[in-house]
Structure 1
């Protein structure tokens, strides 16, 4: 081939990629090779942060209702203000509408992936071009804005809520409105799949080979997953969760995780978000289907642990920060032991306003997760909550931007002793830098820390809610320990220790 012809060929490839992404092609988001507890983007370790507008979980199916383009621009502006190659934005979306999502108000028309016929029913064998165009438009916008997207292939809320399920949300909602409900499509009837569901073990999850092998329904499930994978393979910033808040069993999760791995050659990070039993982190319907199991399973490239550490399991912000931190450590310890190290994502936190929001999101970072993100707004004044969330994430993002977190690890055991009633988490490279999250510290009392060498360390006391330094002092060394006197009583402070 002539040189000029080769040049023209590669120029064409470049221009096609540029048109697709609006920029030079990028590597896929993946685990950071040097420390796979974190993610990487273009070979750089990154921490993901996210704030919400309105719920905006199904923006592809609900055009015009949640002003998602403006929400994404606001998150993009936040990331620009952080201005770090180590901090990126984070959103989670369900590509189809679960028909239970009322937080953004009533929607006149829902844009599903499948063609809707004049009789009001869906044809599961044909896909809606407008839906694909909208998905691609939003994926391009997020890529250009340095926002990582986690798409959730299936949604448990729309499968297990309906007649016979956890509760029945009524006509057109939950399983009643799901396109795979036999009453809502032209592809099969109730003889093939019941119109009823159940809290656990619903018929929709039992169509797999090796179970009931309901080939009629299974072929349409596979057709949808293939269609989605064909689209997202063009976007290197996309990860996939098999389900949202899943009450399915481990077999369902592992089947689709293996399928995605096979179809994509392992290029796309795939994980899942089990719904827990609200007691000890076990699966809500299948005890073994929980974040711990997924953490130690080499089939998954990441795990969304949001349901295992959230306010559902630990009620107060303090409990989420401290007890949730212990659970995160248990996942990390198990992965280290089994050799299955992967990023742990928190895609949503339910403590989402100034009443503990900062304490929770900072605890995620300091306890070693790969992301921290608020869930939907709360309260009677959602606009003020949205403002708070963006301001809080900006403060966290600017702090993370100046911390070599990929060289650090959660090391709460460095804290030898705390005053009664005080709690703490720690992220450290104990030879150079230690970051301590101090909760309910009391003025004049002391913290004992196991640091290396008989030396003093500079301590900077930082208020994360005000983004200001409140005090600076040094550790004192005695009894082979470093001691810090707490200078101010405060519900939540960050201590930065530097040699």
Structure 2
């Protein structure tokens, strides 16, 4: 992963998505050579077809998860898109303070050096259950809803995000040339760390993605 700092790193960090299927690397999915509107898997053309009730169902546990995956298979589905977000859907709207995040929380702040086992166990379970059913998974690492909003006002992703300097013990607002307190706008400059080679954010983002790759591969 040492080449993430330059070149394709900008793409990886701004809109990084990983497509995977077990059994792993010998059976990678790729665009179909004869018609790029389709995919190729195990030497055959493939139409990806799927959907889910939420875009981050790796956060689901028990029968709630497995029943939903079974329903997808019963409907003929073979694909699911999953964002690695901690956004919860409630009757009163989205909340970002209910589901586990990737990092351990120490008192009232996160430590980006330490992982949260609950988050990663949920991801492992999700990947294991999709593998059992032959479901192709698209993992989306950055979902702008989780890093956008106002750092000063509750009720948005950026306010609760571990990447928000107010919420972690690893860096402050003044440490990064990209980050500023207040409202982020539609996109958060946080996602431009690779483009600008941010000396503070980029190493932490790289470490996070390495962890994801370790879990997936």
TM-score normalized with structure 2 length: 0.74
Residue in structure 1 matching 2:191, options 187, 198, 205? 205
| DSSP 3-state at the match of 1:188 | coil
Q: State the shift of 1:106 in Å.
A: 6.5
Matches within 5 A, 1:436-455: none
| DSSP 3-state at the match of 1:139 | helix
Q: Which residue is 2:11 aligned to?
A: none
Partner Cα distance (2:24, 2:171) in 1: 45
Matches within 5 A, 1:331-410: none
Matches within 5 A, 1:62-81: 63=61, 67-79=64-76
The one-character-per-residue Cα deviations of 1:420-453 (angstroms, maximum 9, x if unpaired) are xxxxxxxxxxxxxxxxxxxxxxxxxxxxxxxxxx
Structure 1, unaligned stretches of length 5 or more? 1-20, 80-87, 234-499
| DSSP 3-state at the match of 1:116 | strand
Stretches of 4+ moved more than 6 A in 1?
103-108
| DSSP 3-state at the match of 2:173 | coil
Partner Cα distance (1:42, 1:199) in 2: 43
| DSSP 3-state at the match of 1:176 | helix
Q: Which residue is 1:125 aligned to?
A: 113
Q: State the shift of 1:42 in Å.
A: 1.2
TM-score normalized with structure 1 length: 0.35
In structure 2, relative to structure 1, the CA distance for the partners of 1:95 and 1:206 (3 Å cut) is closer
Tell whether the 8 Å contact from 1:50 to 1:75 is kept in structure 2 after alignment.
Answer: yes
Matches within 5 A, 1:90-489: 90-97=79-86, 99=87, 101-102=89-90, 109-117=98-106, 119-162=107-150, 170-171=153-154, 173-192=156-175, 193-200=179-186, 202-208=188-194, 211=196, 213-233=197-217
The one-character-per-residue Cα deviations of 1:77-117 (angstroms, maximum 9, x if unpaired) are 222xxxxxxxx5221111131x4744787687411111122
Q: Which residue is 2:9 aligned to?
A: none
Q: Which residue is 1:300 aligned to?
A: none
Q: Which residue is 1:434 aligned to?
A: none
Q: Which residue is 1:410 aligned to?
A: none
Q: State the shift of 1:149 in Å.
A: 1.1
In structure 2, relative to structure 1, the CA distance for the partners of 1:176 and 1:229 (3 Å cut) is same
Q: State the shift of 1:39 in Å.
A: 0.6
Which of 1 and 2 has higher RCO (CA within 8 Å, sep 6+)? 2
Higher helix share: 2
Partner Cα distance (1:39, 1:201) in 2: 31
Partner Cα distance (1:137, 1:75) in 2: 17
Q: Which residue is 2:50 aligned to?
A: 50
In structure 2, relative to structure 1, the CA distance for the partners of 1:201 and 1:92 (3 Å cut) is closer
Partner Cα distance (1:228, 1:153) in 2: 9
Q: State the shift of 1:50 in Å.
A: 1.7
